[in-house]
Amino acid sequence: MSAALNTLPDPSLETMPGLWRRSLIVWPDGRRDTTSFVNWLQGPGLYLDLRQPEGRPDFSGMGSLSLLDHEALMWLATQEGFAGELVEEDGWFEWRRDIDFQPKAVYSDRGRLWVDGATMIEEGKDIPYIEHWHREPIGSMPLWAARLEDRETGQKGAIARMGGLFMLARERYCAVPEGLTLAQCVAGAPDTARAQEFLDCEISQGAVTSAGWIVQRSTLPFREAKPLLPILNGGFLETLDQDRMGKPFTRRWEITDLRGEPLTDVFPNGVFS
């Protein structure tokens, strides 16, 4: 292949930051997926990833987890998403998961990466799947990411921004059984309230606009089209959230691990621009 066609740099922790869209995954048994929405935002070290299958129900008028019917809850359980740190060792890249929308996986998320023209190809180590990734054209600055912790509940969080795009993750408050899919957990929940607790995990993607930070896609659909309203207060980040009943509240995150410098571009009232 001509070097001129190799439009992407060789994969490394230094060249990876950006928004990556997946166009294809092929599993060892021959199954393929080319229709799911899959975006991975790689920040400086830390990453967030959101995966939503096609066939999404109409969530209009369902403004909270408490208003979702069984069909909607079961579809939510088919989503995937995670956040953590990307590391590289001996040619293997590993996406370590601090937060995972699905129950803890048996295998590590580790694979090799190489470039073929404008496509970055990933091959899994423990399970030899193949994925095709494409870098999306977004602004490169500002670029930063942070691990977060809700000091009131102990829940982990993560946030990253690159150019005019951001992603936010928050783990669920309750534990989920290992060795099952989230759909199995939800289907086997003793009651609706427990099923809602299993699903109360957020992976969101949004845009930084003149109207503020607006959520565009989320594992929690009622978060979409809502403002995040990030405000810096000392070593804490405040964001607008809502509980399972739809009541809005301000979540106060401690910034436990900051990569980059989001504080260089701040409005006088503390809201990130």
pLDDT tens per residue, range 111-151: 999 999 999 999 999 999 999 999 999 988 899 999 999 99
CB 152 within 8 Å of CB 45: no
CA distances for 246 relative to 62, 101, 226, angstroms: 10, 20, 12
Q: What are the tokens at 179? A: 């060795």
pLDDT at 269: 46
pTM beyond 0.85: the answer is yes
**Tens digits of per-residue pLDDT, 5-50?**
458 999 999 999 999 999 999 999 999 999 999 999 999 999 999 9
- In DSSP terms, which residues pair with 78 in a beta bridge? none
For residue 75, the surrounding DSSP H or E stretch is: helix 70-76
Give SS3 for 229.
coil
The domains of the chain, with CATH numbers, are: 3-226 (2.40.128.280)
Q: State how far the Cα of 270 lies from the Cα of 130, in Å rounded to an integer.
A: 43
Work out the pLDDT band at 265, boundaries 50, 70, 90.
Answer: very low
